[in-house]
């Protein structure tokens, strides 16, 4: 494919509809290739491409140097990618989204949410980092790649963290109840 010339960018900035069409069509190829590579062949690739094109189209008039389109488009793609990780595309985080809890037959024991917050402070640096990256929105596969380890090892760390939380709850919740009773009987 022919490179995008600064002249084409300039004409697109000046409102030339044909130039805009050519420019966005060319960018679409780059973006499709890019997002498919970063997140894999997922349904969200199309939405990422479209929304990035929209960012480019909207921001094009503010591009000061037409020969800097590549950097301009790259930033737009990176911004959009962060929105993807944030969970703004589809329901990929539905299971863990506090807004969409899994169907459950029982109520969670009192105090467990608080325990989860305390837990983060008690974990090893490695385990904490993994859970933080999950919180950012990365998949286990991506976290493994980022930390130079295997997906199985990452999941094992998370399992251990949950075991720790269970032990944590087993000690702290009864202790909290005991202290509450104590406070009630000995005001």
* Interacting positions 4-43 with another protein (CB under 8 A): 4, 26, 29-30, 33-34, 37-38, 43
Q: Given candidates 147, 149, 172, 176, which one binds another protein under the rule CB under 8 A? A: 147
Cα–Cα distance, 159 to 109 (Å, whole number): 19
Rounded Cα–Cα distance for residues 117 and 113 (Å): 7
| Interaction between residue 171 and another protein (CB under 8 A) | no
CB 66 within 8 A of CB 57: no
- Taking the least distance from each CB to another protein, the nearer of 7 and 181 is 7
CA gap 35, 30 in Å, rounded: 9
Picking from 27, 71, 65, the residue whose alpha carbon sits closest to that of residue 49 is 27
Please report how many Cα atoms fall inside a 13 Å half-sphere around the Cα of residue 150, on the Cβ side: 3
**Rounded to the nearest whole angstrom, what is the least distance from the CB of residue 82 to another protein in the complex?**
4
# residues near another protein by CB under 8 A: 80
Q: Which residues of 136-165 are buried (b: 16+ CB within 10 A; e: fewer)?
A: ebbbbebbbeeeeeeeeebeebeeebeebb
Determine, following the binding rule CB under 8 A, whether residue 176 of this chain makes contact with another protein. no
Minimum CB distance to another protein, residue 155 (Å): 5
Of 6-14, 106-114, 173-181, the segment contacting another protein by CB under 8 A is 106-114
Q: Which stretch, 6-14, 154-162, 178-186, contacts another protein (CB under 8 A)?
A: 154-162
Cα-Cα-Cα-Cα torsion 75, 128, 95, 55, nearest 10 degrees, comes to -10
60 and 46 Cβ atoms separated by less than 8 Å: no
- If the CB atoms of residues 86 and 181 are measured against another protein, the closer one turns out to be 86
Q: Which stretch in 6-14, 94-102, 170-178, 179-187 sits in contact with another protein by CB under 8 A?
A: 94-102
| Choices 7-15, 97-105, 173-181; region in contact with another protein by CB under 8 A | 97-105
Please, what is the minimum distance in Å from the beta carbon of residue 168 to another protein?
Answer: 10
Q: How far is the CB of 178 from another protein (least distance, A)?
A: 22
Q: Taking the complex as a whole, how short is the minimal distance between the CB of residue 186 and another protein, in angstroms?
A: 26
């Amino acid at each position: 494919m022919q490179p995008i010339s600064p002249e084409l960018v300039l004409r697109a900035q000046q409102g030339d509809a044909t130039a805009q069409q050519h420019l966005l069509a060319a960018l679409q190829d780059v973006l499709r290739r890019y997002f498919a590579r970063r997140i894999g062949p997922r349904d969200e690739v199309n939405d990422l491409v479209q929304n990035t094109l929209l960012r480019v189209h909207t921001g094009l008039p503010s591009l000061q140097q037409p020969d800097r389109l590549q950097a301009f488009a790259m930033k737009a793609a990176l911004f959009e990618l962060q929105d993807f990780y944030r969970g703004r595309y589809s329901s990929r985080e539905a299971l863990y989204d506090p807004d969409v809890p899994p169907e459950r037959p029982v109520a969670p024991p009192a105090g467990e949410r608080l325990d989860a917050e305390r837990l983060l402070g008690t974990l090893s640096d490695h385990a904490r980092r993994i859970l933080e990256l999950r919180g950012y929105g990365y998949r286990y596969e991506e976290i493994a790649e980022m930390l130079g380890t295997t997906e199985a090892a990452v999941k094992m760390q998370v399992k251990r963290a949950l075991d720790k939380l269970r032990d944590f709850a087993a000690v702290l919740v009864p202790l909290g109840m005991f202290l509450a009773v104590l406070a009630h009987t000995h005001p």
